[in-house]
Structure 1
Amino acid sequence: MAEEIDPCSVAHGTAPAASTTAPAKAERTLVAVFASPVSGFLLRYGADAGFGGMLVEPDPDRAAGAKMAGFTVLGDMPEDLEGADVVVTDHHREELGAVLRDALATKARWIGVMGNPRHPAPHIPALEALGVAPGDIARVHRPIGLNIGSRTPPEIAIATLAGLIADRNSRPGGFFLK
C-alpha cells in the first residue's frame, strides 16, 4: 500500500505531491457530454486532477469547434466506459434522452446531469419516452457537484469536479467538524 502523504505538507511545499502533473494513466475517465463552456473547464481542470477526459458531442458543428480547442471528441457515447464518470453539461439539448440512455447502457460508474434542483428534471421524461426502466433512470444523479454557490462556468466545473474527487476519495464532500 502506498504511503499516505499529508495534504498540508504538500500545500506548504515541505512534502512532494504524489504527482505534479497528470498521471501517465489517469485514475478515472471523465466523459463530458455536450460542448459547452462548462465542459471545456471540466475537461481542462479534470486533466489536472488525474482524470482522463473525452467529450461526447453528437452535433458535428459543435464537435468541430471542440476539436479545434484541442479536446478528444466523439460523436456517440462509447461502449467501453467501465468505471467512468459521465457528466452531462447541458440539460436543454434535444439529444439528452438518447445520450443518457446510451450512457446507462454502459458500465459507467457514475452518471450525472447538471441542472438547477428547483426546476423540473428534463432527463426523466426524456428517458421515460425512450422506454428506459425507472431503476435505470434513478441511477442518474441530479443535482451534481458540491453546493458552493457556483454561478460561472469555471465555478460550476470546480464544484462538479470537487464532488467527483470527494467520491473518488470516499468522502462525502463539504466541511464536517468532529
Structure 2
Amino acid sequence: MATDDASCAVAHGDAPGEKASRTLVAVFASPVADLLLRYGHDLGYRTVLVEPERGRVTNDEQTTAEVLTHFPPLDDDADVVVTDHHRVELGPMLAEALKQPTRWLGVMGNPRHQGPHVAALKELGLPDSEIARVHRPIGLNIGSRTPPEIAMATLAGLVADRNGKPGGFEF
C-alpha cells in the first residue's frame, strides 16, 4: 500500500529511517543502564557506558555499548542518564558531564525526595544555574518500578523531548 506519509513508510519498512547522530550515555553500570544501552542502540543511538570501576561492567553492556571509565567528548546531540544516585562518584561524574554541551542530562531517583546530586554538586562549588541543568525525575510518568519499565520510560521521555512533544497520550 503506497502512502505519502514518510513516517508511515518508515514504520512499514518501505523507506529507510533517518540516520541519527544521537549519543546516549549511561553513567554507572546497572540493570537499568544495561537496558537503556540495549534499547537505545535499537533506537539508533550511539551508546556509551561510563563506569569508573571496570569490574562492575557486565558482558551484556560491553556488547551494546562503548565502555569507558571517563566521558568521551560529547556534543549538543548527546543525552546523559545517570543510573545510580547512591554512588560516591555521583558529584564528580555529574560535574564532569556538566562541562560538556550535552543536549540533556538527568539522574534517576524518586521525585518525592531531593536528589543527592544537589548537595554533591553544591559541595563541589557548582552554581545553582549548572545544577538546574540536571533533570530529575527522568522519563515519562508511567509508574515505572522495574529496570525494563524505567529504561522504557526514560527513553520514551528522551524521544518525546527531542521531538518537542510532551509524551503521554496527547497528540
Q: 2-side partners of 1:73 and 1:67: how far apart?
A: 11
Residues 63-84 of structure 1 show CA distances to partners (whole Å, capped at 9, x for unaligned) of 3x35774231110122334421
Q: Matches of 2:37 and 2:168 in 1, distance apart?
A: 22
Change (3 A) 1:95 1:4: farther
Whether the aligned pair in 1 keeps the contact of 2:21 and 2:77 (CA below 8 Å) is no
Superimposed CA distance per residue, residues 107-135 of structure 1 (whole angstroms, 9 cap, x where no aligned partner): 11110001110122100000000011110
Residue identity over aligned pairs, in percent, reads: 59
Name the CA distance, whole Å, in 1 between partners of 2:111 and 2:136. 7
Residue 16 of structure 2: aligned partner: 18
Deviation at 1:149, TM superposition (A): 1.1
Where 2:47 maps in the other structure, the secondary structure is strand
Give 3-state SS (helix, strand or coil) of 1:39's partner. Answer: helix
In the TM superposition, what is the alpha-carbon distance from 1:150 to its structure 2 partner? 1.2
Q: TM-score, normalised by structure 1?
A: 0.85
TM-fit CA distance, 1:5: 2.1
Residue number in structure 2 paired with 1:149: 143
Amino acid in structure 1 at the alignment position of 2:14: P
**CA–CA distance in 2 between the matches of 1:58 and 1:17?**
40
Gaps of 5+ in 1: none
Q: Distance in 1 between matches of 2:119 and 2:54?
A: 26
Question: Who is 1:110 aligned against?
Answer: 104
Cα distance, 1:171 vs structure 2: 0.9
User: Which amino acid letter does the alignment assign opposite residue 76 of structure 1?
Assistant: H
Please give the alpha-carbon distance, in whole angstroms, between the structure 2 residues aligned to 1:68 and 1:157: 14
Query: Alpha carbon RMSD of aligned pairs, Å?
Result: 2.1
Cα distance in 2 between the residues matched to 1:74 and 1:62: 12
The equivalent residue for 1:62 is: 56
Aligned pairs (5 A) from 1:46-125:
46-63=40-57, 65-66=58-59, 69-70=62-63, 71-125=65-119
Cross-structure match for 1:5: 6
C-alpha contact 2:24 2:79 (8 A) present in aligned 1:
yes
SS of the residue aligned with 1:149?
coil
How far apart are the structure 2 equivalents of 1:68 and 1:110? 22
Per the alignment, residue 37 of structure 2 pairs with: 43
Residues 37, 75 of structure 1: alpha-carbon distance in 2 compared, 3 angstrom cutoff: same
Question: How many aligned positions are there?
Answer: 167
